[in-house]
Chain A
Amino acid sequence: MKILGKVVKYGDDINTDYIIPGKYMVLTDPKELAKHAMEGIDPSFIGKSKDAIIVAGKNFGCGSSREQAPISLKYSGTKAVVAKSFARIFYRNAINIGLPVLECEDLWDMVKDGDQLMLDLESGKIKNLTSNKSAQAQPLPEFILELIEIGGLLNKLKRIKG
């Protein structure tokens, strides 16, 4: 599975309140949530979220267990998040709702906002098409890849049910 997108870059410890502030937790429509993605730290994100690949530092998604955080990113048009590391609950939530997440220590230093990236989820290879540099992310375990490819845990549960 290959993903093409453009870089939107953030630093360390981007918490779930920044990704989707608590006051929006009463919203139930994912498209409405998406209008407020990253609003807590970067209200301009919505103007650049289509086909975005967020490249972040350490501990992306720390804080709350709110699944609305990866949901708001996914419905904002964000294709994937590549971070130096992820907070545990966000990582599981992202995979479960079908938002690709990759861990890569080196990428952050070799990209700038707007660079075109190509991610290969199977191999973890990342190519910066703008600068022609490459980085290697931690390849995803097979069961996680499978979850992302079928669109998340819900689709898997439907299959089990069916």
Chain B
Amino acid sequence: MANIIEKILSRASGKKEVMPGEIIEANIDCAMVNEITGHLTIKYFHEVGAKEVWNKDRIVMVLDHTIPAASVEAAELHKIMREFAREQKIKHFYDVGRGGISHQIMIEKGHVKPGDVVVGADSHTCTYGAIGAFSTGIGSTEMAAVFMTGRLWFKVPKVIEIKVDGNFRKFVTPKDLFLKVAKILGVSGANYRGLEFKGSTIKDMSIAGRMTICNMAIEVGGKAGIVEADEKTLEYLRGRVNGPFFIAKSDQDAEYEQSLELNADDLLPLVSCPDAVDNVKPVSEVEGVELDQVFIGSCTNGRMEDLRLTAEILKGNKVNDRTRLLIIPASQDVFLDALREGLIEIFLLSGATVANPTCGACYGGHLGVLASGEVCLSTTNRNFIGRMGSTKSKVYLASPATAAVSAIKGRITDPTSFKGD
């Protein structure tokens, strides 16, 4: 009668069973840092006099927040990471031009397996639940402890079950599904909780879509999002990582704190309005809001599936004169695939700017930073005041389909009415 998260944490802590609320210490299968959190971890690691990391093959270091370095300060952070990776002989270090956004890399390059316990010094580490792992974000100091010991304490979370059945209509996507969940649960509705997604819609969903919904678990406070591994997962992992895997599945009579049931057939394109992720409305209610910028990319929506959908809509169309469209593939591999499929050409012909993989635009770091009074529709995960630039700018969150159609129209537009004119 255990759920998937309890099973994974039992195994990682060497216990027969664990209960929600129980504090356990778990072995960490893989630990990830980026340059803005990793430089602190490295500083602390040295400060306490640690000499060697617990396992140089189980640490993944990624430069992704400011790629390539946009300032001397950013370059210094890169340098700290690079030197540490060399000194400690870290096997998986992704320098500029070699990787991309960490959360994409972790799955794409096979650093995460089903059943693993993974920590990352970035809140969107919850993305890896997409392949049936327990993964969660931690801070830099705890990461220093993980670098030293390979272990960390966790409170076993209560779990909310989200069961989704039915089929999405054209131009309705996993992003819209998560925005619906955010509307129902609210921004703290899953605080300290795990979210397990299941049902026929999830079974039919690509790994990319599962990554989108697990990625946003943190936006409702979630400790982890998770989907049990299935044939689709194993097919995705083939050639990326070798088994055997620990495939955990919730028991039929597993206990949940709360259960939500949703029908994908009923779902409409949604948009999260400024300045909170749970301020969700049907796109039709905010249609007409004029847009200065549209951004398609990020760890939430920067994968091939997202870019193909974008290209399907942009093909033969132009970005509206009043609007700038910025497209950023989530990784070098995604960029290359998009190039080979001819998607990049479609983007450029439409008038979009295509940039190299980086987190920059999403958090107002660099690339596409917003001026005061500007409005952006973005496929990212946060629309807090000032998130993408000026504290006097506004950010709406939506799917790549809504973003692409809105870029053509220059204002927020419901993609389900798009005919490809």
Contacts and interface: CB of A to CB of B under 8 A. Distances in A.
A65 B37 contact: yes
B387 A22 contact: yes
Interface stretch (B45-53, B199-207, B332-340): B45-53
B48 A67 contact: no
Contacts, number: 126
A63 interface: yes
Interface residues of B, number: 48
Interface residues of A, number: 37
Contacts of B140: 67, 93
Contacts of A88: 191-192, 221, 223
B50 to A, nearest CB: 7
B84 interface: no
Nearest to B125: A65
A135 interface: no
A17 B122 CA distance: 14
Nearest to A15: B384
A13 B188 contact: yes
B39 A21 contact: no
Given A17-B387, A18-B384, A87 B188 contact: yes
B267 interface: no
A59 B125 CA distance: 19
B74 A66 contact: no
A154 B221 contact: no
Given A88-B191, A154-B48, A17 B276 contact: no
For the residues of B in contact with A, the DSSP-based class is: loop
Interface string A87-101: 111001100110000
Nearest to B386: A40
B48 A161 contact: yes
B393 to A, nearest CB: 12
Given A67-B141, A152-B141, 20 more contacts: A17-B385, A18-B384, A21-B364, A26-B74, A26-B76, A28-B73, A40-B391, A58-B188, A59-B187, A59-B221, A62-B221, A63-B123, A63-B218, A65-B137, A92-B142, A97-B141, A153-B142, A154-B47, A154-B141, A157-B145
Interface of B: 36-37, 39-40, 43-44, 47-50, 65-66, 71, 73-74, 76-77, 120-123, 125, 137-142, 144-145, 148, 187-188, 191-192, 218, 221, 223, 276, 363-365, 382, 384-387, 391
20 contacts: A15-B382, A25-B363, A26-B77, A27-B73, A40-B385, A40-B386, A59-B188, A62-B187, A62-B221, A64-B123, A65-B137, A85-B191, A88-B223, A89-B137, A93-B139, A96-B141, A154-B47, A154-B144, A161-B50, A162-B49
